[in-house]
Amino acid sequence: MTRLTIIAPVSVFLMFVLLFDCFKSVSDALLIILNVPMALIGGIVALYITGIPLSVSAAVGFIALFGIAVLDGVVLLSFIRQWRPIQKIRLSASAQQQSSQSISGPLASNHRLQGGGTMVKDLGSSYPLN
């Protein structure tokens, strides 16, 4: 467990560095990284509601969840940047709406696939973390 408390912040920082390198903007990288704590809150609530203890497989599922949250942010921000020149306004509501509608299908398919794969693994293990 002590390794996880060291590895998790380091991995989030490395994700931030890679996002900053990709987008060349601190604000865009922070916007995407802010998806991670929201996903963490949702994951903890889901564990509490289902009564599943925090196990090694659940911790691995959280790491996968962080990747999914970052992927969603990257894809959405990329589509918003794609729609900006068409709308002629920086981060307009119309550009955000068009981006959300364009990526909702592919992201939903991705979430179903990843969720189904991790659900089997998470429900199959009930060993608590040491």
pTM of the model: 0.66
Task: Give 127's DSSP letter.
Answer: P
The amino acid occupying position 79 is: F
- Answer whether 33's CB lies under 8 Å from 19's CB: yes
Given 3-state DSSP classes, what are the helix, strand and coil percentages for the chain, each rounded to the nearest 5?
Answer: 85, 0, 15
| Burial track 120-129 (b if 16+ CB lie within 10 A, e otherwise) | eebeeeeeee
Check whether 17 has a pLDDT greater than 90.
yes
pLDDT in tens, 32-66: 998 888 888 988 898 889 888 887 777 777 888 88
pLDDT in tens, 63-100: 888 888 888 888 888 877 776 666 565 555 666 666 66
Residues 6 or more apart whose Cβ sits within 8 Å of residue 63? 11
Q: How many residues does the chain have?
A: 130
Domain ranges, ordered by start, for the chain: 2-124
